[in-house]
Structure 1
């Protein structure tokens, strides 16, 4: 039996290595193919909706005064410039360097409009190759066929469709009360903002997709090492497609669903949380490292040095351009304050009211056993605060206007934890 276990472990390690290497090579090939597409039609389709870009400007808020309603138009415009880049003559070099043309100062939105309209003014090239920018394998083909308005509507249909599939998955599993926590998480993320923003929508769609897979194929994933590979691939997908906005939702929200479906004991659940987290991190880190290696090979540029410098900036507790040496408390307050508005507070009151009513109706009592059962959810609930602590002012203070969405994890895990503690969580099949 021990021999069989060792063989299974060796087989899993070989699978893991194969998936990592395969993902790096596949990601590379897909990106190069995307950069081989002609860009003139893309430029024309962007020009059709240039007025939309002009109207929305930089960091558009569809609800004024709400940072939660703010899209990352700067990054979206950067990706549009990547997509429209006319080419240096080498698709491989362009895929690795992610170049874009800028007119004058670092204003992506203005440059998008000028480039789309064929402005012949002076430009300079900026490369941003330390990320994969995998969403370009979707954006470039879409721009060949559609303008930005079309793409936004297509994105809305996909997001709403996946959300419907996920909700049906909860109902199929009879996780009716747990939908309360998931609803809270979705509102915290703000699905309308996800529709408006391309780079946000990629992470949101991936999260919904990975959650749906888990809800519909839990039994198949339980076989062998399938769940371990699921979280490994999850991490790979998020590093390939995301722009470092709030990728941890891709790991944590499916993990909460896993905890809801699992019949394992608390100790085993916590053990799985740690292992799944490590595998997600391995997929994320190794495939990201693969990008730097390939870029170094094909362009000669040392992205390792740039990445280390940026990592120091993002994890630093030093001064920002807003305030001198903000503390951890400053970072936490900055992110939590995004929800200190009446609509969110009223939603919180309603959700807590639902929990209280459920508790009263069932005459629930809090016991030590229930508190222990809630521990796996507590660990997930604390995850965003751990990120705000580790990733310092460069990430969680300066970029609070999108990092606050990590609190969607705490909302989902926290409400599920309260249902568990109050005994209102039922047995599910």
Structure 2
């Protein structure tokens, strides 16, 4: 859970400090970095920073938008790496504190569920990693937006999720993107009393987020191919085929192996004990509930939240190889399942029907 990604952070920094002679449009579309032949990105960054002589070459990374560079480059101009990480940690703590304050101020009864889900993400590790921070910021800001604006109409919710899909594709490095769908979607479902409308929202909002996410990604390849007169789809689709192939090192990968790989990251004694205590707490409250006779209606109310909790597993099925290899950070998708189930239990199973 606490593992950082120095490899990808080094790539991000190498992308940010690149100063080649290519035209601006080409650099924006291809996103070059300089590496030392035979060395990993971490070592290349160290050598580059210390002006070590050696056999260098340029690498392009055209399949992503690399939107994080819009923020990272100015920060590197003003601060050193340690300062940026300190700022990153401070801003994230401030956002979490503001969310919890706003939840308390607005009498939002799911603050405990939110805290438990956030802890599953390991915010300490996120604050020290550039790669893990991008979607984390988008998720936190979307939660703040929903708490501050009383989004009730389906059209407003879909507009928000569509834009979140676009922003996720722009900023993210394919880490755990579903948090920008799952967390705001759960908060929107919490406001809905009709389970049939809630189920429809799960489908429509997930679909519109996917359209924004995939459309923005494809937009990079289309725009880049047009501006550079070069087919960027070859690299992008080639890598996509690898990530979705359900094969690794010439061996078939099963969905249960993928789930097991991701689950074992959170298979830690403190988390197991916490889950047991939470389960005991909910079971005790459910037994003491005065309106358990309306069990069917409560289960129907719970259905949309169950559907949201299954979204990460659908992602593991689609991006099978990626989730199998990079399980040590893709496990964070499971926090969506935790948040959806906890909020669903609180809203539908333990709260008196309206």
Q: Distance in 2 between matches of 1:270 and 1:283?
A: 20
Aligned pair count?
353
Instruction: Name which of 289, 301, 315 aligns with 1:373.
Output: 301
* SS state at 1:228 partner: helix
The match for 2:234 is 305
Q: Distance in 2 between matches of 1:425 and 1:249?
A: 29
RMSD: 1.8
* SS state at 2:34 partner: strand
* SS state at 1:105 partner: coil
Residues 33 and 60 in structure 2, CA contact (< 8 A), matched pair in contact too: yes
Superimposed CA distance per residue, residues 108-167 of structure 1 (whole angstroms, 9 cap, x where no aligned partner)? 111111111222322011101100010000000000000011001111111111111222
Q: Distance in 2 between matches of 1:106 and 1:285?
A: 33
The match for 1:229 is 159
2:21 is equivalent to residue 88 of structure 1: yes
Alignment of 1:114-193 (within 5 A): 114-176=47-109, 178-193=110-125
Unaligned runs of 5+ residues in structure 1 are 1-67
Residues 131 and 243 in structure 1, CA contact (< 8 A), matched pair in contact too: yes
Residues 157 and 188 in structure 2, CA contact (< 8 A), matched pair in contact too: no
What TM-score comes out, normalization by structure 2 length?
0.95
Instruction: Name which of 319, 322, 331 aligns with 1:391.
Output: 319
Instruction: Name which of 140, 162, 176 aligns with 1:208.
Output: 140
Superimposed CA distance per residue, residues 275-310 of structure 1 (whole angstroms, 9 cap, x where no aligned partner)? 111211111122211111221123233111211111
2:261 is equivalent to residue 334 of structure 1: yes
Superimposed CA distance per residue, residues 186-220 of structure 1 (whole angstroms, 9 cap, x where no aligned partner)? 011110011111010111111000111011102xx
Residues 302 and 349 in structure 2, CA contact (< 8 A), matched pair in contact too: no
User: 1:353, CA displacement in angstroms?
Assistant: 2.9
Instruction: Name which of 78, 81, 101 aligns with 2:34.
Output: 101
Superimposed CA distance per residue, residues 79-120 of structure 1 (whole angstroms, 9 cap, x where no aligned partner)? 100011112241211111011111122501111111112223
Instruction: Name which of 211, 231, 238 aligns with 1:282.
Output: 211
Superimposed CA distance per residue, residues 22-65 of structure 1 (whole angstroms, 9 cap, x where no aligned partner)? xxxxxxxxxxxxxxxxxxxxxxxxxxxxxxxxxxxxxxxxxxxx
User: 1:348, CA displacement in angstroms?
Assistant: 1.0
Superimposed CA distance per residue, residues 357-407 of structure 1 (whole angstroms, 9 cap, x where no aligned partner)? 433454452610100000110000111111111222x21111111111110
The match for 1:76 is 9
The match for 1:382 is 310
2:201 is equivalent to residue 272 of structure 1: yes
What TM-score comes out, normalization by structure 1 length?
0.79
User: 1:324, CA displacement in angstroms?
Assistant: 2.7
Unaligned runs of 5+ residues in structure 2 are none
Residues 97 and 299 in structure 1, CA contact (< 8 A), matched pair in contact too: no
The match for 1:262 is 192
Residues 371 and 421 in structure 1, CA contact (< 8 A), matched pair in contact too: yes
Q: 1:104 to 1:357 in 2, by over 3 A?
A: same
